[in-house]
Amino acid sequence: MENKKQPLFSPANMKLLSKPLGRDNPITVQVLGVCSALAVTVQLQPAFVMAVSVIAVLAVSNLLVSLLRTTIPPRIRMIVQLMIVAFLVIIVDQILLAFAFEISRQLSIFVGLIITNCIVMGRLEAFAMTNKPWQSFLDGIGNATGYGVILLIVAFFRELLGSGTLWGFQVIPQAFYDAGYVNNGLFILPPMALILVGVMIWIHRLKNNELIEKN
Amino acid sequence: MENLLNIFISSIFVDNMIFAYFLGMCAFLAISKTVRTSVGFGLVILFVLAVTVPLNYLIFNYLLKQGALVWISPDLAHVDLSFLSFIMFIAVIASLTQVVEMVVEKYAPVLYNELGIFLPLVAVQCAIMGGSLFMQEREYENILEVTVFAFGSGIGWLIAIVGISAIREKIRYSNIPAPLRGLGIAFIVTGLMAIGFMSFMGIRL
């Protein structure tokens, strides 16, 4: 209870927000949530919607689980957590179906897969079960944003190099195509997402030497 | 018959859970350090997929779908509970995982210790939930097709994890740039394997 008097946006709390963006990134460092991360990154728009959905689900579920953390019996906590997450994801799915039907079709099963997204379970287990609601809420936003950032970076390169567009708008001028430039079709296909993430991990670890594995 | 074979082959090679949809990547990268463990884990996934997907198919078709409750009384024809499908699917999967965990603990304690936290985490495996969601989305015609699809996906997953773990066992002896070691190279190798698997694209029997 020592941080009872802490202001809401104290440095310690802000760290919860900023750490997952860099040194503690859920995808490149904690290897959580890669599952659904890659399939939605062919274009920026679905990737953005996915990122926002994950931020909403993770922040709220972290908050709810943290509020309930003393009442959930440890033996069945997994099921309780799953139910909370599933309930939130159903709401997100229905909202997407109602207001963004096209994108919801594009994301297909991957909205449902937020339930089993390792980030959500991982953060609930590792953070929300042992921390207070406000901190958990921030942790949820921070981690989901870290996830979203990777998603957007991958989507940026895949859309730019794969189809020459960004957010659906043509960015590579027609003159380039006339001069013989061709879109790299490989970027639209799944394998390139994996390789891009691999390269991002590489760059990330070049900057943060302490993360290098021993092999 | 031909249709079934087609579903089987395409769910193993063309629509491979890992290489085409990246489902279950977390465990895939974390477990695939030795071939022995990954065979065990792959079999667990295969089993859970093969049981939960047909089970969820029955639940979806006889309880949740619009008009699915007609067998109780014709008045219920307009009831559409399909928005509940996520929560039902995950409940089925989580409870089955609990059973599998107990069985593995009893009969294969070595495997149980090696898998550690990842065994209970089968409940939140994207591959398994993904199997059920694909079943719902692709609208297979009968339970036989669904079972074949579930089996095929499980086998595809097994092949993928055994393949990558064999490669990673060898990679340990090679000189990789330090920042790329471990996770980074695993991603890139998976990407290259996925390119290899793309050669199966378009196969139809």
pLDDT of residue B132: 87
Residue by residue, pLDDT tens for chain B (205 residues) are: 788 888 888 888 888 888 888 788 877 887 787 888 888 888 888 988 999 999 999 988 888 887 777 777 777 777 788 788 888 888 888 888 888 888 888 888 888 887 777 777 777 778 888 888 888 888 888 888 999 999 999 999 999 999 999 998 888 888 888 888 878 888 888 889 888 888 887 776 6
In whole angstroms, give the CA distance from residue B37 to residue B35: 6
CA B154 to chain centre: 5
Chain A stretch 191-210, residues whose beta carbon is closer than 8 A to a beta carbon of chain B: 191-195, 197-199, 201-203, 205-206, 209
Q: Is B202 an interface residue toward A (CB < 8 Å)?
A: no
Smallest CA–CA distance from A87 into chain B, residue: B87
Give A195→chain B minimum CA distance, Å: 5
pLDDT of residue B22: 79
List the domain boundaries for chain A. 32-208
How far CA A23 is from CA of A15, A16, A17, A18, A201, in Å, comes to 11, 11, 12, 9, 11
CB pairs under 8 A between A and B: 148
Q: Tokens 């055994």 — which residue?
A: B162
Q: What is the pLDDT of residues A90-126, one digit of tens each?
A: 899 889 888 888 888 877 778 888 888 778 888 888 8
| Dihedral sign from CA coordinates of A71, A72, A73, A74 | negative
- Is residue A215 over pLDDT 70? no
- Is residue A54 over pLDDT 50? yes
pLDDT of residue A193: 83
Q: What is the pLDDT confidence band of residue A1, given thresholds at 50, 70 and 90?
A: very low
pLDDT of residue A7: 65
**C-beta separation of B42 from B124 below 8 A:** no
Q: What is the pLDDT confidence band of residue A36, given thresholds at 50, 70 and 90?
A: low
